[in-house]
Amino acid sequence: MAHPLRDKLRAGAQVVTVEIDPPRGADASRMLTQVDCLKGRADAVNVADSPMANLRMAPIAAAYLIQRELGVETIFHLTCRDRNLLGLQAELLGAAALGVRNLLALTGDHPGRGNHPTASGVFDLDVSGLVGLAKRLNDGRDHTGNELEGGADFLVGVVCNPCAPDRELELAKLGSKVRAGAHFVQTQPVFDLERLKPFAESAARLGVPILYGVLPLARYRSARYLREQAGMVIPDRILEQVEAGGREAGLEIALGLAAKLRELGQGLHVFPYRDFELAWSLLERLRAG
């Protein structure tokens, strides 16, 4: 079975992935229109799993629709938040049967911060446990060691925050995920290259491809929110540039960061953050060289 993303990562090729949110309802047409615009500009599309704990279409179903209708490879997110150990295995086996074989393992935002605050968080496993579970399914056995009627073939990714306040702790957590069986890493958005470099040097020794996150800033207000409320490390000079130049400045900043980040990792992971057109412009400029 063809597995283009895995083949590119194994070959050391530069890749670009883009994150999208699945629909808020059962109508997938808007999502499919957006993804159709990404054909030829991204190697794979990430499909989030009810991000910020807000209800969305199940990511495996959305990823399957994208692959079936558009032929675009996907990476579905799967969180430890919503499913117990039995449910996680059932979801993964269903994904494998549908040919949705690229997985990003995540903890998941706590339900209390989303639009269903009375929902229960499960968290039977942590991320390293979920990665190990996918590895066992790849080996043709379930969590308890029972042999399956056909194993899986997952390419398993994990996330990290390369500008986290405690660099050593973040590296230790990432190392645990890699030892559990992770095949690649996608990071949170990066805006401070000086702060990134010590992390990047250490993370490179783990021996797995790393795709560094790029988020084009469309508005000063959004940039302030991301720094002050979401905890992203965004230097003052970048805030000042976006305040003075708006979307065009945000695009130029993202392009400059992307060039440097490609030198440190094996590609980029692009976050549209409420402005798909700006992310599309970034991808166009990246494709043009």
Provide the pLDDT for residue 2.
Answer: 74
**Is 73 in a helix, a strand, or coil?**
coil
Residues 6+ apart with CB under 8 A from 127: 80, 105, 106, 107, 158, 177
Provide the pLDDT for residue 1.
Answer: 60
pLDDT tens, position by position, 34-64? 999 999 999 999 999 999 999 999 999 999 9
Going by C-alpha positions, the residue among 151, 162, 289, 147 that lies closest to residue 214 is: 162
The answer to whether the beta carbons of residues 131 and 114 sit under 8 Å apart is no
Cα-based distances in Å from 154 to 80, 124, 184:
17, 21, 12
User: What parts of the chain have a pLDDT lower than 50?
Assistant: none
For 4-216+253-288, which CATH class? alpha beta
Pairwise CA distance, residues 198 & 201, whole Å: 5
Provide the pLDDT for residue 288.
Answer: 82
Cα-based distances in Å from 91 to 51, 182, 269:
18, 18, 25
